[in-house]
Amino acid sequence: LHVDAEVVPADVRLSDYRLLAFDMDSTLITIECIDEIADFAGRKAEVAAITEAAMRGEIADFDESLRRRTELLAGLPESTLQRVYDERLRVTPGAQTLIAAAKEASLHVLLVSGGFTFFTERLRDRLDLDFACANTLEVRDGVLTGRVLGEIVDADGKKRALERTCAAIGCEPAQAIVVGDGANDLKMMSIAGVSVAYHAKPLVRSETTHAINHCWLDAILNWFDDQLPRPAPGRGR
């Protein structure tokens, strides 16, 4: 049996914050989408090795690592993306409880990913998220070209997305809670009021205000006074 423990101030409330932001792959969901797409091309091991190295911070140029991985997807039918979504994508346990509590406390919810809009847009609609930002895979004649359209959402892109979203809802980044697991999450985590390393790489755990190594996402609620269970009237006297 493993547990997580955090020392937190006694009077901090979830409602003190304005924004809850998630990374997608291996954070809001249990898989790395690009690795699963590559599996349909017989290249999962190759792509997963690059993904793992990038998330550990061992590849300095995230943009180049993403291009290398997406090139290996060239020639796959676009329908592969739907198959990954339907057959392999699972929302991380506790995520929906955490999102519901955040919305009840009047927080907005952002999904920001170095992955792909095909998945972030569907998760945004499925989980009733307020904002989503990710990379767009190029598709021609129903086939993946192996290229990404536009500016890549890397570590700097994630930070800018967080800043834009905070500006849009009228808050400072210090009023944001950011949850992620990889090195490309660190820049947006560095400006957040609360940064949570979720089942993360050692580099990420060493740079964040909080870490969850064993529990599910809803364990985050235990850190906030307004989310703790209250004794029933007449008890505990």
At 11, is the pLDDT very low, low, confident or very high (cuts 50, 70, 90)? confident
If you average pLDDT over every residue of the chain, what do you get?
94
Question: Which of the residues 16, 23, 128, 225 is marked catalytic?
Answer: 23
Which contiguous run of DSSP H or E holds residue 62? helix 62-71
Q: Is 23 a catalytic residue?
A: yes
Name the pTM for this structure.
Answer: 0.93
SS3 100: helix
What is the spatial distance between Cα 190 and Cα 174, in angstroms, rounded to a whole number? 10
Residue 237 has pLDDT above 80, yes or no: no
Concerning whether 181 is annotated as a catalytic residue, the answer is: no
Q: Which one from 4, 11, 25, 225 is the annotated catalytic residue? A: 25
**What confidence tens digit (pLDDT) does each residue in 65-84 have?**
999 999 999 999 999 999 99
pLDDT bracket for residue 95 (50, 70, 90): very high
pLDDT digits (tens, 9 = 90+) for 102-139: 999 999 999 999 999 999 999 999 999 999 999 999 99
Instruction: In whole angstroms, give the CA distance from residue 151 to residue 106.
Output: 31
* Fold held by 14-227: Rossmann fold (3.40.50)
